[in-house]
Structure 1
Amino acid sequence: MAVVGILVASAAAWWLQRGPQAQMQLAPAASNASAPAGASRPPAVEAATVAITRIVDDSQTVGSLRSRQSVVLRPEVSGRITALNFRDGERVRKGQLLVQFDDQLPRAQVQQSQAELSIATANHQRNQDLVAQNFISQRSVDESGANLQVAQAKLALARATAERLKIVAPFDAIAGIRVVNVGDYLKDGADIVNLEDLEAIYVDFRLPERFQTKLQRGQRASIDIDALPGRKFVAIVQAIDPLLDANGRSVGVRACIDNRQMQLRPGMFARVNTVFGEREKALVVPEEAIVPQGGKQFVLKLVPGAEVDTLVTQRTEVKVGVRRPGKVEILEGLNEGDRVVTAGQQRLQKDGTAVRVVDLASKAAAQPASAASAPQVAQASPPTAAPAKALVGPNPCLQAQAAGAAKPV
């Protein structure tokens, strides 16, 4: 009896220990048996909606500033400086006398030529009266007429030589720093001072040859100057070089900046953003949605499936336009509001695959408290630029553009 009791107790203990585990193991098997064969969870993907935004078709490059007009004054004849009628860095007007050379000898030659001209004129007039009375031959009249012309030419030469000793400003400009003084003897061609017309500033830059069909006169470009941070200037394209550089395969462009405030100087380094066009309602998608294949561009568009509340993929070829950081313009293939896959394309082997969209943006938005509770450090506001002075008169760049349009080359 004792042995039988021990066996019964052991069997009861084994049953109490193994019974619940066996039931737990049988439950999943029963559930799997009740599920339809071949059923699996759809792959998870991330998706984005085709949005409408403003796209600017532009190109960035660098350039240099130069004066609208610039010249270095040099004498045409040798001489000694007797007067300098300007100060370094001051504004000069067109026709203003800037440098006077010693002209005593040329003035004396002018007076001598005037006296010779007077004699030649009187002789020629007297011979004309005498030939009318048949006192002299026509040959004498011809010789006196030739002498008169020679005297006139000598006077014109003397006056031109004297005028060469006066250097005047060829246009309105600002004088540079002179390198000569009163009393210096200069040979012809020596540098005296540079003149810079700064009312308008040219910016010269180059663009790759693929943009040459988009470039047109009158287009606008945004200019950033490293020496003037925070300031933007607007330049108007004035000229496009018809000859492309064979070394760099680039086209030269010259644009004009209104500089009546005198903030820009020739030689400055400029960052140029040339605008070719703007589209207010452009379709854009994240650049991760583009799947290149065989020289073409595709996206995986999400469309409703055969079952309710299901989404399947549809491979769609698109034509892309301007690319921006993180965004790609879609010209053809999609419409506003379409949804495309942005992550998980590698798990979608064939078209028409059912997918499950994971919205990561909503999860990130569900945790704003931690960011809001973080201590905020007060930041000093950037210095405010001084207000610009009111400009007086028409834009010199627009005037130059109108003059160029009136006289096409």
Structure 2
Amino acid sequence: MTSSLLAACGQGGPDTSKQADAAALVPVETAVVASRAIDASYSGTATLEADREADVVAKTNGVLLKLFVEEGDTVRQGQVVARLDDASPRLSLAKAEATLRKLEADYRRADEMFGKKLLSLEEHDKIKFDLDNQRAVHDLARLELSYTQVVAPIDGVIGKRHVKEGNLIQLNQPLFHIVDFDPLLGVLNVPERELNTLKSEQAVSMVVDALPGKRFPGVIERVSPVVDAASGTFRVTCRFDAQAQTLKPGMFGRIDVIYDRKQDAVAIPRSALIEEDGETAVYVVVQAAPPAPAADAKDAKAPKPEAAAPKPDAPKTAAEAPAASSLQAQRRVIHMGFADGEYVEVRDGLKLGDQVITVGRNAVRDGTLIQIIDTAPAPAAAGVPVAEKTP
């Protein structure tokens, strides 16, 4: 019975061993370390806001008789956007004009009498002061009448209308909200380590969630020289053109500030990086060392006659075919340089042509045997002839 078990084990041994070795290989995807241009940049997020916006408020009381603009309309500074009831201010102006004409006539007569020494200086000055005061009252009445024509204080677009025709409007009540779309600003809160890196007039670019696939150019408008002690950041204000009103205030954008470029950087994808124990590392594909041959003690003492050299004409069997080389993962600590959206520069730890693991790196450790999954067809195994296609 023991011999039967040994025979059974002898029959299944080689195939079982090969299947176990194949199962032990961890499938991974790799990328080749190559030379490419990499931009040194800072990326941050910001909500777009208008550089100029204002509320249109009523400067006098009255009933709103007419609206001349609506939400979404473009207006110019000084354009009439609404009209209030002007009956009372118009009557006040007419009354002030009548009083002004009377005082002007009184002053002319008083001036003639003063020249003939028929009027004292005190009475002459009193009439002149009354005339000056009435002129001010007249100008104020004219100003009050002009306030019934509500005008836009800035150029822009009507963002919101707060009132309706027929409403009784009170002094300083908001009627409209005007937004100037050009330019729009995005404010970044940047860590203090970048204080000497970001400067005014540097070019920036932005993508917004509402408009995927589009990138909008801009420029740094100003950089605050003060660092907020609570957050350790400083304010960087970026300016963007409205792009024919494609960009809107309130949109959420991701802003990239490119401040340097290296043309021939040794680069790898970000997906290859591993952050462990405060170090940045990658797994590199290397050739595994061949296992040491295990010699059987009995076979060493008494060599079998079958171990003699095979005849030159004898074909190689499957067991005698050279074994395929094994690959393994090797952990390497690297030092990074510039970094952009997809790639990072490696200043130390890798060389051009190395292969780094990008997919499956979390499943391997230093020395793990791996199998590279490649979409390209694998080359034919050594020692196996390739069938030629017939024409």
CA apart distance, 1:233: 0.9
2:81 corresponds to which letter in structure 1? L
Which residue in the other structure is 1:119 paired with? 102
Provide Cα deviations, 1:89-121, integer angstroms capped at 9, x if missing partner: 222222111111112111111111122222222
Contact 2:160 / 2:178 at 8 angstroms: preserved in 1?
no
1:5-84 mapped onto 2 (5 Å cutoff)? 52-84=35-67
- What's the secondary structure of 1:110's corresponding residue? helix
Measured in 1, the distance between the counterparts of 2:66 and 2:126 equals 44
2:236 maps to what in 1?
A: 253
Q: Which of residues 141, 151, 159 is equivalent to 1:168?
A: 151
Secondary structure of the residue aligned to 2:132 is: helix
Instruction: Quote the residue 1:239 is aligned against.
Output: 222
> Distance in 1 between the 2:62 and 2:375 partners?
82
- Distance in 2, Cα, partners of 1:339 & 1:289: 17
Deviates more, 1:203-212 or 1:276-285: 276-285
How far off is 1:328 after superposition?
5.1
What is residue 193 of structure 2 aligned with on the other side? 210
RMSD: 4.2
Q: TM-score, normalised by structure 2?
A: 0.62
Structure 1: distance between partners of 2:256 and 2:185: 15
Alignment of 1:247-396 (within 5 A): 247-282=230-265, 321-323=337-339, 329=345, 367=378
Distance verdict in 2 for CA 1:108–1:364, change over 3 Å: closer
Is it true that 1:86 corresponds to 2:102 in the alignment?
Answer: no
Matched to 2:68, the amino acid is: N
Paired residue secondary structure (2:161) = coil
- Name the CA shift for 1:289/1:169 in 2 (closer, same or farther; >3 Å): closer
CA distance in 1: counterparts of 2:203 and 2:171, whole angstroms = 43
Q: 2:89 is matched with which residue?
A: 106
Cα deviation, 1:161-196, whole Å, max 9, x if unaligned, reads 222222101222222342322110122233322212
Q: Distance in 2 between matches of 1:231 and 1:325?
A: 16
Check conservation: 1:98, 1:168, Cα contact below 8 A. yes
Distance, in Å, in 2 between the alignment partners of 1:203 and 1:107 is 47
Q: Distance in 2 between matches of 1:289 and 1:82?
A: 68
**Partner Cα distance (2:163, 2:341) in 1:** 55
Q: Is the 8 A contact 2:32 2:355 kept in 1?
A: no
Select the structure with the greater relative contact order (CA < 8 A; seq sep ≥ 6). Answer: 2
Aligned to 1:146: 129
Q: Which residue, out of 148, 160, 166, partners 1:183?
A: 166
Number of residues paired by the alignment? 296
Alignment match, 1:14: none
What 5-or-longer segments of structure 1 have no aligned partner? Answer: 1-47, 298-317, 348-359, 370-409
Given residue 215 of structure 1, which amino acid in structure 2 is its aligned partner? L
- TM-fit CA distance, 1:223: 0.9
Q: Cα offset for 1:138?
A: 1.7
- 2:116 maps to a residue whose letter is Q
Deviations 1:98-153 (A, max 9, x none): 11111211111111112222222222232222222212222222112211110111
CA contact (8 A) 2:35 2:352 kept: no
Q: Secondary structure at the match of 2:53?
A: strand
Identity among equivalent pairs (%): 24
Q: 1:289 to 1:274 in 2, by over 3 A?
A: closer
**1:71 partner letter:** A
How far is 1:284 from its partner? 5.0
Q: Which residue of 1 aligns with 2:10?
A: none
Is the Cα–Cα contact under 8 Å of residues 73 and 158 in structure 2 kept in the other structure? yes
Could you tell me how far apart the structure 2 residues matched to 1:54 and 1:229 are? 25
* Contact 2:192 2:232 survives alignment (8 Å): yes
The separation in 1 between residues aligned to 2:101 and 2:77, in whole angstroms, is 35
Q: Retained in 1: the 8 A contact 2:86–2:145?
A: yes
Matches of 2:211 and 2:342 in 1, distance apart?
A: 29
Matched AA of 1:186: I
Match of 1:303 in 2: none
